[in-house]
Amino acid sequence: MKLPENFDATWMELNERLKPKQNDHCNQIGLAGEFAFGEFCGLYPNIDKSNADNGIDFNLPLVFTIDVKTSVKWPPYLLVKTNVCVPDIVVLVHYNNGQPKLIGWEFGTAIITKPVKDFGCGTPSYYISSSELRSMEELKKRLFLRRFANG
Q: What is the residue range of 34's domain?
A: 7-149
Is 2 inside any structural domain?
no
- Is the Cβ–Cβ distance between 13 and 28 less than 8 Å? no
pTM of the model: 0.64
Name the phi and psi angles at 35, rounded to 5: -65, -40
Query: How far apart, in whole angstroms, are the C-alpha atoms of residue 119 and residue 96?
Result: 20
DSSP type of residue 75:
S
Q: What is the tens place of the pLDDT at every residue in 51-100?
A: 555 666 766 666 678 899 999 999 889 999 999 889 999 999 999 999 99
36 inside domain: yes
CA-CA distance, 95 to 8, in Å (whole number)? 16
- What is the tens place of the pLDDT at every residue in 116-134? 999 888 899 999 999 999 9
Task: Report the number of distinct structural domains present in the chain.
Answer: 1
- DSSP letters for 80-142: EETTS---SEEEEEEEETTEEEEEEEEEHHHHTTS-EE--SSSS-EEEEEGGGSBPHHHHHHH
Model confidence pLDDT, tens digit, residues 5-46:
655 555 455 555 444 445 565 677 888 888 888 888 777 676
Q: Is residue 79 part of a domain?
A: yes
Report angle CA 17, 18, 23 to the nearest 5 degrees: 130
